[in-house]
Amino acid sequence: MWRSLLLFLTLAASPLSAEEVVLGLSQDKVAITATFDGSEILIFGAVKREVPIPSNPPLEVVITVSGPSEPVTVRRKERKFGIWINTDTVEVDAAPTFYAVATSAPFNDAISNVEDQRHKVSIPKAIRSVGAPMTITDSQSFSEAIIRIRKSQGLYQLLENAVQVDEQTLFRTSLKMPANLAEGDYPARIFLTRGGDVISQYQTVINVDKVGLERWLYDMSRQKPLLYGLMSLAIAIAAGWGASAAFRLIRQG
């Protein structure tokens, strides 16, 4: 609550640009429950302006939502002695566990290369990789592998023409977040662009958290691992014995 207030205050304090974002989210929390099967988030907003709508070029909207960044080990297989073995390894310093980009036009029309570089908007720019070993000359293909694999899992999404803009003022889009989400804060960024240049940006946070039984089990497994292990065994054995006893009763009765 006070975070959004703070955001509002910093926004109010910053020098006003001609056009600004007023944002709404269908939800600012994603609760991972026992039956969690992914989530759809509606992101909508309006452009507030003190001046008439500039005629040219048209207003475009770019929206990104990213999950917590983590280091990733990428391994590549090669055929050695007739079998496929992991040979080359590249440690990618930080790759978001989830990353979605939605634009109101084809990506290259919505935001220029320079602005993409500056704000790290496109999927490849969101991955940070520096230290590939000297022996590997094509470290680029390892970053590409992360994108390819995570795209196929629905974790990375490039949604061109997915943001609807009405009257250069109202915009909305919906993002599908898959079930295999990592916990954490998911910053959502909204860029307003004209002619590929960012004229205004806005940031908010969507919180992804386990709740209820999921939360309790997860915390217990980290904080009291021995107790958790013993409990797992006890439940397993009780179920095994219980089923056996039930079968015996059925046979006799």
Partner 1 sequence: MLTVSIVMQIYLPIAEVSVNAFLLLGLGGMVGILSGMFGVGGGFLMTPLLFFIGIPPAVAVATEANQIVASSFSGVLAHFKRKTVDLKMGCVLLVGGLIGAALGVVVFNYLKSQGQVDLLVRLCYVVFLGIIGSLMFIESLNAIRKSRKNTGPVKRKKHNWIHGLPFKMRFRVSGLYISVIPPVIVGVCVGILAAIMGVGGGFIMVPAMIYLLGMPTKVVVGTSLFQIIFVTGFTTLLHATTNYTVDIALAVLLLVGGVIGAQIGTRIGTRLKAEQLRILLALMVILVCAKLALDLLLQPTELYSLGAAGGH
Residue closer to partner 1, measured from CB, 42 or 239: 239
Closest separation in Å from C-beta 35 to partner 1: 5
- Residue 101's φ and ψ, nearest 5 degrees, are -120, 125
* Closest residue by Cα to residue 59 from 203, 135, 171, 181: 171
- Residue 88's φ and ψ, nearest 5 degrees, are -90, 140
Closest separation in Å from C-beta 179 to partner 1: 3
Q: Do 192 and 48 meet the contact criterion of CB atoms below 8 Å apart?
A: no
Residue closer to partner 1, measured from CB, 9 or 233: 233
DSSP conformation letters of 7-39: HHHHHHHSPPPSEEEEEEES-SEEEE-TT---E
Residue closer to partner 1, measured from CB, 2 or 84: 84
Closest separation in Å from C-beta 123 to partner 1: 15
Closest separation in Å from C-beta 76 to partner 1: 5
> Which residues of the chain form contacts with partner 1 (CB under 8 A)?
32-38, 70-79, 82-86, 89, 91, 141-142, 145-146, 148-150, 179-182, 210, 213-215, 217-218, 221-222, 225-226, 228-233, 235-237, 239-244, 247-248
CA-to-CA distance for 187 and 66, rounded, in angstroms? Answer: 6
Q: For residue 98, what are its two tokens? A: 């989830």
CA-to-CA distance for 142 and 244, rounded, in angstroms? Answer: 51
Residue closer to partner 1, measured from CB, 172 or 210: 210
Specify the amino acid at residue 15.
P
Closest separation in Å from C-beta 25 to partner 1: 22
DSSP-based three-state secondary structure for 60 = strand
Angle (nearest 5°) at CA 149 between 145 and 150:
115
Closest separation in Å from C-beta 153 to partner 1: 9
Residue closer to partner 1, measured from CB, 38 or 106: 38
Residue closer to partner 1, measured from CB, 91 or 109: 91
Q: Do 21 and 47 meet the contact criterion of CB atoms below 8 Å apart?
A: yes
Closest separation in Å from C-beta 116 to partner 1: 24
- Residue 219's φ and ψ, nearest 5 degrees, are -60, -40
DSSP-based three-state secondary structure for 232 = helix
Q: For residue 234, what are its two tokens? A: 């006890």
Residue closer to partner 1, measured from CB, 42 or 246: 246
